[in-house]
Structure 1
Amino acid sequence: MGLEKLHAFDAGKWGKVIRFLKEDQLISDGNIVEAREATEDDLLVVHTKRYLRSLKWSLVVATITEIPPVAFLPNFLVQRKVLKPLRTQTGGTIMAGKLAVERGWAINVGGGFHHCSGDKGGGFCAYADITLAIKFLFERVEGVSKAAIIDLDAHQGNGHERDFLDDKRVFIMDVYNRHIYPGDTHAKRAIRRKVELDWGTEDAEYLHKVALHTEGVLNEMRPDVIVYNAGTDILDGDPLGGLSISPQGIVKRDEVVFRAARSRSIPILMVTSGGYQKKTARIIADSILNLHRQRLIGPEALEEGEGTSTLVSSMMRGPVSAGSAHSAV
């Protein structure tokens, strides 16, 4: 409806990533798993009924998404045009968590709504997809009892931190610009590896800290799954991130995290989270292509005995079925 032009977020980012990967012949419709919309029962695994009812007020959704005109739209339109796509991305993250455990890795091209907790949305995030994915795995997948969240978006992931504040099963590492939103002091108590960055942090310092602390997390705790929040708002020039990481630095960052996980045979789920420049879609695609070149994802992993692999899209359709309520059709 044109409202996306009023927002810092590029609403077409995820579709562009898929298009770039198709153009580079990494994927086709036949090997993309289609995300299904999270149902109310799914969402109630984490969210309170009171919070979900609040989303029936357009003003509440306008506040969360920071698009003031949404407040004046009939809520049925808000549900269909704003919240349904977010529920689909949330369903994609839940599904990708299960696929990551089954097959070694999965990437949801979308998701990463790390400012939303079970009872409160904010920062463009209306559903707590990271929390949901982990809770689903704990409750419904045998052998998953410990998880690590490696949150490398430029902003503090206060949503999942509030959800797991007293849950020792979840180890949270968060690397973020200390000077920007949300500055949630209470939520910081949940972070077990906290790396606070200053304005304009560049590649060398950033990559050193990411590598050091990722290794530290996985040496300190061997999780059954890693949820990797791979925000690209760390990119130099991002209007909201305030850091100065190059495109090559982002590609290398993702490689560092995947290499640490794959070398230990720990399943990893990646979500794409924030990133507020038009060029971020190309960088995400380039990073996925690099992971494939480095044989950290793709069919080569099967040949090496590391399991199969899956790319989940909230934007495109594919006929692959994973055999669960949150799988593709």
Structure 2
Amino acid sequence: MIKIAWHPIYAHPLPEGHRFPMIKYELIPGQLLHEGTIEQDNLFNPEPVSEEIVLLTHQKDYWKQLKDLSLSAKDQRRIGFPLDAQLVERELRIAQGTINGAHFAMTNGIAFNVAGGTHHAGSNWGEGFCLLNDQAIATNYLLNNNLAKRILIVDLDVHQGNGTAEIFQKEPRVFTFSMHGDKNFPFRKENSSLDIPLDDGLEDEAYLSTLNTNLKKAFERSKPDFVFYLSGVDVLSTDKLGKLALSKAACKERDRMVLQACKDKNLPLQVSMGGGYSVDIKDIVDAHCNTFRLAFDLFA
């Protein structure tokens, strides 16, 4: 059975008018249940990850400031959220959901986190709506427990996975692949193992061709035994922060390429959903739901 991490705290309320669409974390599982793609048994509620596991990835001083809610106003602005205890708990549950998902993927081929993809969080900073880096935490957990030897992180969110790149810049067992908008946030990029910067306005055919070439390169160079995938839908032409011009069909084909490659290579795959900021929430939810629909077609 394909397992999906979800918790009500994922939709933690933010001040009215905040541009981050937290409601999508309620709407995605709701839509999948409504249409019959999933059943309630597919969903699980993760507990908060332990401090010991957090500290495999994030520096102690930074974690203490999160835990004590003592981040400076400047650092909170960098994150983009007004910090509170529920947001910290939310990130802890997201991280544990991704760890649990990694375990489920080893049994079932694939697992999901309805949230996560918090790739802007570095070892000692939060940024861009990201406090703790869920896939980096899960990666270090797998390595520390000898559950994987070589890990590939495929990041196809429109924004570079700068935090992930920084965390693993000196870790040869982890290969970070980020294909992202060249002139988009974050404006100070880190060095991934493989960075593919994209021009504004890139359309379907050119995007998919570029991905096809470089996805093969990432697998060849990394030789992974586990894969994490960040499937942000902010690549859509309707996205107000993305600057690319992909159709929903191309976004779905992008996902199919990653999922099919892992299935063909018999590699366990954990998927976190990442960003999506289209004006119409229905576009965000449908594009995210397509990733789940594909997985159930391919793996269930």
Taking structure 1 as the reference length, the TM-score comes to 0.81
Q: Distance in 2 between matches of 1:108 and 1:12?
A: 15
For 1:29 and 1:105, locate their aligned partners in 2 and report how far apart those are by CA, in whole Å: 17
Q: CA deviation at 1:292?
A: 2.2
Corresponding position of 2:203: 202
Once the 2 structures are TM-superposed, how far is the Cα of residue 31 of structure 1 from its aligned partner? 2.4
Matched with 1:31 is 42
Q: Which one has more relative contact order, counting CA pairs under 8 Å at least 6 apart?
A: 1
Number of aligned residue pairs: 283
How far residue 26 of structure 1 moved from its aligned partner, in angstroms, is 1.8
Q: Secondary structure at the match of 1:6?
A: coil
Offset, 1:193: 2.2
Preserved contact between residue 98 and residue 272 of structure 2 (Cα < 8 Å): yes
Distance 1:46 1:219 in 2: 26
Q: 2:118 matched to which residue of 1?
A: 113
Task: Report the equivalent of 1:146.
Answer: 150
Output the CA distance in 1 between the equivalents of 2:165 and 2:62: 18
Deviation at 1:183, TM superposition (A): 2.9
Match of 2:77 in 1: 63
2:16 alignment partner, SS class: helix
- Is the partner of 1:23 in helix, strand or coil? helix
Indicate if the aligned counterparts of 1:64 and 1:125 stay in contact, CA closer than 8 A.
Answer: no
Query: What are the residue-to-residue correspondences of 1:217-296 with 2, within 5 Å?
Result: 217-277=218-278, 278=281, 279-293=283-297, 296=298
1:133 partnered with 2:138:
yes
* 1:171 paired residue among 168, 175, 178: 175
Q: SS in structure 1 opposite 2:299?
A: coil
Measured after TM superposition, the shift of residue 61 of structure 1 is: 6.4
User: CA offsets per residue over residues 25-80 of structure 1, 9 Å max, x none?
Assistant: 1212122222222232221221122101222126366324324xx37xxxxxx102
Q: Which amino acid aligns with 1:245?
A: L
Runs of 5+ consecutive residues of structure 2 not aligned to the other structure: 1-11
More moved, 245-254 vs 44-53: 44-53
Contact kept, 8 Å, 1:113 with 1:128, in 2: the verdict is: yes
Q: Distance in 2 between matches of 1:43 and 1:60?
A: 23
Give the Cα separation in 1 of the matches to 2:211 and 2:175.
15
Q: Deviation at 1:161?
A: 0.4
Amino acid at match of 1:182: P
Q: Kindly indicate whether the alpha-carbon contact (under 8 Å) linking 1:51 and 1:119 is maintained by their aligned counterparts in 2.
A: yes
Give distance in 2, aligned partners of 1:221 and 1:40: 29
Aligned residue type for 2:219: L
Distance 1:128 1:160 in 2: 7
Give the percent of matched residue pairs that are identical in Structure 1 and Structure 2: 26
Alpha-carbon shift at residue 85 of structure 1 (Å): 1.7
Name 1:79's counterpart in structure 2: 85
Counterparts in 2 of 1:66 and 1:216: CA distance versus 1, 3 Å: same
- SS of alignment partner, residue 149 of structure 1: strand
Pick which of 87-96 and 154-163 moved more: 87-96
Distance 1:133 1:241 in 2: 27
The alpha carbon displacement at 1:169 in A equals 0.8
- The Cα of 1:2 is off from its aligned counterpart by 5.7
**Matched position secondary structure for 2:129:** coil
Divergent runs of 4+, >6 A: none
Any conservation in 2 of the 1:211–1:257 contact (CA below 8 Å)?
Answer: no
Secondary structure at the counterpart of residue 135 of structure 1: helix
Q: Which residue of 1 aligns with 2:127?
A: 122
Q: Structure 1 residue 237: deviation in Å?
A: 2.4
Aligned-residue offset at 1:282:
1.7
SS at match of 2:44: strand
* TM-score (norm: length of structure 2): 0.89
Tell me, in whole angstroms, the C-alpha distance in 2 between the residues paired with 1:251 and 1:136.
30
Q: Structure 1 pair 201/164, CA: closer, same or farther in 2 (3 Å)? A: same
Equivalents in 2 of 1:2, 1:14: separation in Å?
Answer: 11
* Residues 100 and 106, structure 1, Cα contact 8 Å, conserved in 2: yes
Inter-partner Cα distance in structure 2 for 1:4 and 1:246? 31
Question: What letter is aligned with 1:248?
Answer: A
CA RMSD of aligned residues (A): 1.8
After superposing the two structures, state which structure 1 stretch, 256-265 or 50-59, moved more.
50-59
2:102, 2:20 → 1: CA distance?
A: 25
